[in-house]
């Protein structure tokens, strides 16, 4: 009994600690800290809650075609997505302007620069002839690590993959360049919008479907460059028409009211579970607090952009998180009604309900993954929040609740009333259906 009590107390303490970290954060040192949601860097708020920057770009060409402008809108959309600004909005304004609204942006100058860049990537030989362009690149990503053997210093670099044609062109160019080693012309320059990013020397033919670009990049520069290479080249350059910082579309009270609603909703669900499922409900309540704590920690640390609908979604998820427990507890009650002991009823209830819990959650996970993977903008962000909610709630409902209940049984708490059974349930055979 005492061992169960210790385990039980331990997990309650863990949940309380997680909850504390989720709300207030945890500072180990100045460098290593976990922000909580009340920290200023804890939550990335969307345009509707915090405001942001509005940038209006004008096409630097006369009479752009509608098709080109549509392309520009889509390209900007992709660049923003690749840089993690999934909640940003891009709209066409008039016939030659594009309006970009970015929530909570730290550095609007960089945003303006990287978004508006034409992003014309060119590989040139020593004589300045273009070998290939960005259209031969299928994928680009920013990475961190050692770029050369023997050099222990790590730096940010951009890793690219070529199309088959690109690979061939690159292979031929490196062969030619390597042959020119004697005249000191054995290098290839890689230029972005006319600026030389890097000009590596070539010592031998390189027949590879990938290459890396090194340079003195910061993390942000590398990821912005990679995003631009990946999203492709604009049909023309964009001039900045105006940049302004705007307030939230929703007032201050919107957020505080939503939080109040969330807390009241949470309390109601906690009470509901306690009233209906008694001791099991109490264990589910602890598991729900675990769920809330983990979600808060994830929100604060993965910089998920939170808009008001996002908050509503998270609050909704609190109601849904107990679903798996409701399925399981109903099953446990059924097993108890069949006259099983508490211990075997809990085991059987969990085992039998498991398939329902897993199947119903997997179907939701399928939708969430599709939204996150293929979605753009708001939908992508929504997919992540949904996925996070389901996975965490499944873990808390299955593992945390079960662990707590086991400790309860270990402490010899075996009154069936506590497990949600009423006296009348035992006397009258109320289970219908095809069970023997």
Partner 1 sequence: MFDIVQKKWVFFGISIVLCLISIVSLIFRGFNLDTDFSGGIALTYEVKGEDFSTEDMSAIVSEALGAGKSASSVQKSGDDVIIKVGYDKDITDEERTEFSNTVRDSITTALEEKFGKAEYDGAAAAEPEEDETAATEPDASAEPAAAATATQAPTTGGNLVSGVRLSSMDDISPSSGRELARSALWMSLLACAAILLYVTFRFEFTSGCVAVLALAHDVLILLGVYSVLQISVNINFIAAVLTVLGYSINNTIVIMDRIRENTRNSRKESYGEIANNSIWQTMTRSINTTITTLLTIGMVFIIGVASIKAFALPIIIGIVIGFFSSVFITGPLWATWRDSAVTAKRAAAGNGKSKSKKK
**Rounded to whole angstroms, how far apart are CA atoms 75 and 263?**
40
Pairing state between β 305-306 and 44-45: parallel
- 7-46: contacts with partner 1 (CB under 8 A): none
Residue of the chain from 276, 338, 418, 426 that contacts partner 1 (CB under 8 A): 276
Instruction: Give the nearest distance from C-beta 386 to partner 1 in angstroms.
Output: 6
Asked if 341 is part of the footprint of partner 1 (rule: CB under 8 A), the reply reads: no
Query: What is the per-residue binding string for partner 1 in 74-93, x denoting contact by CB under 8 A?
Result: x--x-----------xxxxx
**Rounded to whole angstroms, how far apart are CA atoms 277 and 267?**
15
- 208-247: contacts with partner 1 (CB under 8 A): 241-242, 244-247
DSSP state of 120: -
- CB within 8 A of 288, min separation 6: which ones? 266, 269, 270, 273, 318, 321, 322, 396
Residue of the chain from 29, 129, 253, 428 that contacts partner 1 (CB under 8 A): 253
- CB within 8 A of 270, min separation 6: which ones? 285, 288
Number of residues this chain uses to bind partner 1 (CB under 8 A): 87
Residue of the chain from 20, 366, 417, 422 that contacts partner 1 (CB under 8 A): 366
**45, HSE (Cβ side, Cα atoms, 13 Å):** 20
C-beta of residue 122 within 8 angstroms of C-beta of residue 190: yes
Instruction: Give the nearest distance from C-beta 96 to partner 1 in angstroms.
Output: 5
Asked if 340 is part of the footprint of partner 1 (rule: CB under 8 A), the reply reads: no
Instruction: Give the nearest distance from C-beta 432 to partner 1 in angstroms.
Output: 6
Which tokens sit at 139?
């994928």
Length of the chain: 436
Query: What is the per-residue binding string for partner 1 in 141-180, x denoting contact by CB under 8 A?
Result: ----------------------------------------
Asked if 422 is part of the footprint of partner 1 (rule: CB under 8 A), the reply reads: no
- CB within 8 A of 149, min separation 6: which ones? none
Which tokens sit at 108?
């609007």
- CB within 8 A of 151, min separation 6: which ones? none
Instruction: Give the nearest distance from C-beta 146 to partner 1 in angstroms.
Output: 39
Asked if 137 is part of the footprint of partner 1 (rule: CB under 8 A), the reply reads: no
Residue number with CB closer to partner 1 (226 or 392): 392
**Rounded to whole angstroms, how far apart are CA atoms 123 and 229?**
13
The region of 96-104, 106-114, 140-148, 217-225 touching partner 1 under the rule CB under 8 A is 96-104
What's the start-to-end Cα distance of the chain, in Å? 35
Asked if 409 is part of the footprint of partner 1 (rule: CB under 8 A), the reply reads: no
Residue of the chain from 326, 338, 413, 418 that contacts partner 1 (CB under 8 A): 326
- 44-63: contacts with partner 1 (CB under 8 A): 48, 51, 54, 58
Residue of the chain from 266, 348, 409, 411 that contacts partner 1 (CB under 8 A): 266
Which tokens sit at 145?
């690590």
């Amino acid at each position: 009994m005492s061992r169960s009590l210790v385990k039980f107390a331990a997990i309650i303490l863990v949940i309380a600690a997680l909850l504390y970290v989720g709300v207030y954060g945890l500072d180990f040192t100045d460098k290593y800290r976990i922000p909580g949601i009340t920290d200023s860097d804890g939550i990335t708020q969307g345009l509707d809650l915090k405001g942001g920057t509005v940038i209006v770009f004008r096409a630097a060409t006369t009479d752009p075609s509608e098709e080109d402008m549509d392309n520009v809108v889509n390209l900007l959309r992709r660049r923003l997505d690749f840089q993690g600004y999934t909640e940003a909005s891009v709209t066409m304004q008039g016939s030659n302007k594009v309006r970009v609204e970015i929530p909570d942006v730290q550095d609007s100058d960089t945003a303006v620069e990287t978004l508006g860049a034409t992003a014309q990537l060119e590989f040139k030989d020593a004589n300045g002839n273009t070998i290939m362009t960005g259209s031969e690149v299928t994928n680009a990503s920013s990475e961190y690590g050692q770029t050369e053997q023997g050099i222990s210093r790590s730096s940010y670099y951009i890793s690219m993959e070529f199309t088959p044609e690109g690979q061939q062109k690159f292979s031929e160019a490196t062969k030619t360049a390597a042959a020119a080693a004697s005249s000191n012309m054995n290098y290839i320059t890689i230029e972005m919008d006319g600026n030389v990013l890097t000009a590596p020397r070539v010592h031998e033919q390189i027949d590879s479907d990938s290459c890396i670009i090194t340079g003195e990049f910061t993390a942000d520069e590398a990821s912005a460059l990679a995003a631009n290479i990946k999203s492709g080249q604009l049909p023309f350059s964009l001039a900045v028409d105006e940049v302004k910082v705007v307030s939230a579309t929703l007032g201050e009270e919107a957020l505080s009211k939503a939080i109040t609603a969330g807390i009241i909703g949470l309390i109601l669900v906690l009470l509901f579970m306690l009233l209906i499922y008694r001791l099991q409900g109490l264990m589910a309540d602890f598991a729900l607090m675990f769920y809330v704590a983990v979600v808060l920690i994830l929100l604060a640390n993965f910089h998920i952009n939170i808009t008001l609908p996002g908050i509503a979604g998270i609050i909704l998820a609190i109601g849904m998180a107990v679903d798996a427990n409701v399925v399981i507890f109903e099953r446990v009650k059924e097993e108890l009604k069949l006259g099983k002991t508490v211990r075997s009823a809990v085991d059987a209830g969990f085992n039998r309900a498991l398939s329902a819990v897993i199947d119903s959650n997997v179907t939701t996970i399928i939708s969430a993954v599709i939204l996150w993977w293929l979605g753009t903008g708001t939908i992508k962000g929504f997919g992540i929040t949904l996925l996070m909610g389901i996975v965490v709630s499944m873990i808390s409902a299955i593992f945390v609740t079960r662990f707590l209940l086991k400790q309860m049984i270990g402490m010899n708490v075996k009154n069936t009333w506590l497990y949600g059974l009423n006296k009348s349930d035992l006397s009258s055979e109320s289970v219908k259906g095809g069970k023997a």
